[in-house]
Amino acid sequence: MSKLNILPLPTFNRLGVNFTERDTAFETETISVPEGSERQIIQFRETDCETSVTVGKGARLNLVQVFTGRCASVLKTTVADNAQFGLIQLYLGGDNVSEIITELSGYRSGFTAEIGYDLGYGDVLDLNLVADHYGRRSTSEITADGILRANAQKTFKGTIDFKNGSSGAKGSEKEDVILLNESVVNRTVPVILCAEEDVEGSHGATIGRIDEQHIYYMRSRGIPEEQIYEMITRARLERIIKKTGDKDTQKRIYSILGWGDDDE
């Protein structure tokens, strides 16, 4: 068993969030985006994989990863001066352990992460995302939106780490989780580590039910309650799916979700 998803600073042992144990057989993969270039990569992941990514000076990488099975994934990225790394990850069921370590080493390097998940019966997601700010005026913006149904279990550990010297850096992290069954288990650990004075960091999390006022409004317009839940949760995922910007990918995701063609 390997220890994965190790929290950069451990916390109370009893919470069971400091690391995850998993049998893994990683394949390795390297992605390099040369200086000044722009790439979009879309991956549907079903096997364990460790991916190393470098985004060269002034380059831009948009990486879309969709997880549907039982998978352990490690994604380590280095972002150079003025480079941008945009990551979209969707977890649509299964049993996934995923680690994302992004090193913002360059001046004005940027990282945006959009994480979406829809987890149901027997699904497990353990996600550890770390944005290491080394570069001056580097930025990170992490959002995670998800739905937990049936007895799904999810752990999201998100860390923004302002290293000494990262002056002018900004990082924000936001997670919004909707719980739709009494048997779900949600663990959220939003961490900010800071060794630099001139930075701005924030994180926020909201976890719970759909706002009762929203439900009341829609019911008063004749929409059945079950349909309301589906509409709201679907709207959340769709916002992220649309950001992939690729029609074929969107179609394939809709198909996995059983949404059909009218959902394009």
Partner 1 sequence: MKEKTLVADIDRAFYDFRYDEDEKNFLESGITPEIIREISAEKGDPEWMTEFRLHSLDVYNRLKMPQWGPDISGLDMDRIVAYIRPQKRMQSDWNSVPDDIKETFEKLGIPQAERESLAGVGAQYDSELVYHNVRREVAESGVVYTDLESAMHDERYAELIRSHFMKLVPPTDHKFAALHGAVWSGGSFVYVPAGVHLEIPLQSYFRLNAKGAGQFEHTLIIVEENAYLHFIEGCSAPKYYEASLHAGCVELYVGKNATLRYSTIENWSKNMYNLNTKRAAVEEGGKVEWVSGSFGSHVSYLYPMSILNGRGARAEFTGITFAGEGQNLDTGAKIVHNAPETSSYMNTRSISKSGGISTFRSSVVISENAVGSKSAVSCESLMLDSVSRSDTIPSMVIKTDKADVGHEARIGRISDEAVFYLMSRGLDENSAKALIVSGFAENVSKELPLEYAAEMNNLINIEMKGSIG
Structure tokens at 164: 């000494």
Closer of 125 and 241 to partner 1 (Cβ) = 125
Q: How many residues bind partner 1 (CB under 8 A)?
A: 43
* Window contacting partner 1 (CB under 8 A); options: 11-19, 69-77, 99-107, 121-129: 11-19
Report strand pairing: 110-119 vs 200-208. Answer: unpaired
Helices (H), the chain: 212-219, 225-242, 247-257
Stretch of 128-136, 175-183, 213-221, 247-255 lying at the interface with partner 1 (CB under 8 A): 175-183
Positive or negative, the CA dihedral 118, 186, 145, 2 is negative
Nearer to partner 1 among residue 14 and residue 221 (C-beta): 14
Altogether, the residues listed in the chain come to a count of: 264
Q: Is 27 in the site for partner 1 (CB under 8 A)?
A: no
Among 2, 3, 11, 46, binds partner 1 (CB under 8 A): 11
Q: Are 124 and 155 in contact (CB under 8 A)?
A: no
Residue 13, SS3 per DSSP:
helix
Nearer CB in complex with partner 1: 47/227: 227
Q: Is 15 helix (H, G, I), strand (E, B) or coil?
A: helix
Task: Give min distance, CB of 162 to partner 1, in A.
Answer: 8
Is residue 186 part of the contact set for partner 1 (CB under 8 A)?
A: yes
Is residue 223 a contact residue for partner 1 (CB under 8 A)?
no
In this structure, the number of other CB atoms found within 10 A of the CB of residue 99 comes to 20
Q: Is residue 194 within the footprint of partner 1 (CB under 8 A)? A: yes
Least distance (Å) between residue 152 CB and partner 1: 11
d(C-alpha 170, C-alpha 110), whole Å: 10
Q: How far apart, in whole angstroms, are the C-alpha atoms of residue 142 and residue 204?
A: 10
CA gap 187, 57 in Å, rounded: 36
Q: Does residue 101 belong to the site contacting partner 1 (CB under 8 A)?
A: no
**Does residue 9 belong to the site contacting partner 1 (CB under 8 A)?**
yes
| Residue 76 makes contact with partner 1 by CB under 8 A | no
Given candidates 21, 35, 46, 195, which one binds partner 1 under the rule CB under 8 A? 195
Residues 155-174 close enough to bind partner 1 by CB under 8 A: 162, 164, 167
- Check: CB of residue 68 under 8 Å from CB of residue 47: no
Among 22, 70, 136, 187, binds partner 1 (CB under 8 A): 187
DSSP character at residue 168? T
Measured CA angle at 59 (ends 82, 203), to 5 deg: 55
Which residue, 2 or 164, has its beta carbon nearer to partner 1? 164
> Footprint of partner 1 on this chain (CB under 8 A)?
7, 9-13, 15, 17-18, 148, 162, 164, 167, 179-182, 184-209
